[in-house]
Amino acid sequence: MSTRTAVCPGSFDPPTLGHVDIIGRTAALFDQVVVAVLVNESKTGRFPVPDRLAMLRDAVAAYPNVTVESFSGLLVDLCRAHDAAAIVKGVRGPADVEYELAMAHMNRHLTGVETLLVPARPEWTFVSSGLVTEVARLGGDVSGLVPSEVQARLDDVSAVAATDSPEQSDSGD
């Protein structure tokens, strides 16, 4: 039987528990899951890519069939390299669906790869990378919304008044 691989792509800037939930649910459905931090060379982002990889690896350590990597280029090329059966993304509501649909159609147009949109659990529908960063920077409590490793780094960020320059966040994520 062939191995079924899914790619969970995103900016993960930083990862939230909403992201981790989608990754875990994908890991239960596929043999292998590649979590891919897509790098946009022309934008800075909130956290350096190596930090995002470290935070993600820590957050998904419990899933033996999940790997984490970064990729600079077209998502469909990464999918081809892994012979991925599907791209999986979480959606929190209609705005996310609208944002994801165009990309799903484009990626299918380019290579035929399918995108599966997984509904976020209700408890994560208000959580985004941008919002948790802003709340933490202004001294708010985001524990319970982000993995512990992210919480620790957000505490540092709030201590040093970081600049907030989202990498590629049409969806706020």
Q: Does 90 help bind ligand PNS (rule: CB under 6 A)?
A: no
Three-state DSSP state, 36: strand
75-130-77 Cα angle (round to 5): 5
- Strands of the 5-10 sheet, one edge to the other: 66-71, 32-38, 5-10, 86-91, 114-119
CB 22 within 8 A of CB 120: yes
Shortest Cβ 168–ligand PNS spacing (Å): 5
Number of residues that bind ligand PNS (CB under 6 A): 13
- What does the per-residue mask of binding to ligand PNS show for 139-168, with x meaning CB under 6 A? -----------------------------x
Binding residues for ligand PNS restricted to 50-69, rule: CB under 6 A: none
Look at the block and give the residue holding tokens 């649910």.
25
Q: Decide whether 72 or 143 has the Cβ nearer to ligand PNS.
A: 72
Q: Does 10 help bind ligand PNS (rule: CB under 6 A)?
A: yes
* Nearest partner of 11 among 123, 97, 130, 122, judged by Cα: 130
Q: Does 107 help bind ligand PNS (rule: CB under 6 A)?
A: yes
Binding site residues, ligand PNS, CB under 6 A: 9-11, 38, 74-75, 103, 106-107, 168-169, 171, 173
Active site residues: 19, 43, 92, 129
